[in-house]
Amino acid sequence: MLALCTGNSCRSQLLHGYLAEALGKWAAVYSAGWKYTASTRAVRVMAEDGVDISGHASNHVDEYASVPFDCVVTVCDHANEVCPVFPSLAQKRHHNFPDPARATGSEEETMAQFRAVRNQVKAYAQDFVREAF
């Protein structure tokens, strides 16, 4: 399973964290993007919810070009538009989440945006797991 986003710094990392926690016994979960730098805020909001993604690295999508994924989930419209063709019969899913990295305002307001997106991603991940299993 691959969570794919333009940046691989927030949204795909959040989904990666929730799906790895839920599917760890049944599926390998990865995340990737094109422009990559890990977000410390994403790590913080996941830790608040009891999920540790501090060991996640931002990976370039090309690193996974030959992996036969069963499912690729794009989490932003840009990734959905430019998603590479994977050499497999991967099921493709898409859900556009707001980009919390674009949040403005005070640190408290920015973190509120990260938490809101985290909660949306968590709900999506829970629905995904219910549908898949």
User: Which tokens sit at 20?
Assistant: 């790895």
Q: What is the CATH number of the domain that holds 30?
A: 3.40.50.2300
Catalytic entry in 2, 3, 4, 5: 5
Give the pLDDT of residue 87: 62
CB 2 within 8 A of CB 30: yes
Catalytic entry in 23, 38, 67, 83: 83
Establish whether 83 is a catalytic residue: yes
Nearest to 70, CA basis, from 6, 7, 133, 112: 133
Structural domain for 74, as ranges: 2-132
Identify the sign of the CA torsion 117, 122, 127, 128: positive
Establish whether 76 is a catalytic residue: yes
Burial of 59 (0-12, 13-18, 19+ CB in 10 A): middle
Please state the domain count of the chain: 1
Per-residue pLDDT in tens (0 to 9) along the chain, 133 residues: 999 998 899 999 999 999 999 998 889 999 999 876 679 999 999 999 999 999 988 899 889 888 889 999 999 999 988 877 666 678 999 999 999 999 999 999 999 999 999 999 999 999 999 998 7
Give the pLDDT of residue 111: 98
Say if pTM beats, i.e. exceeds, 0.85: yes
E-only strand ranges, the chain = 2-4, 30-32, 71-74, 91-94
Catalytic entry in 15, 42, 45, 76: 76
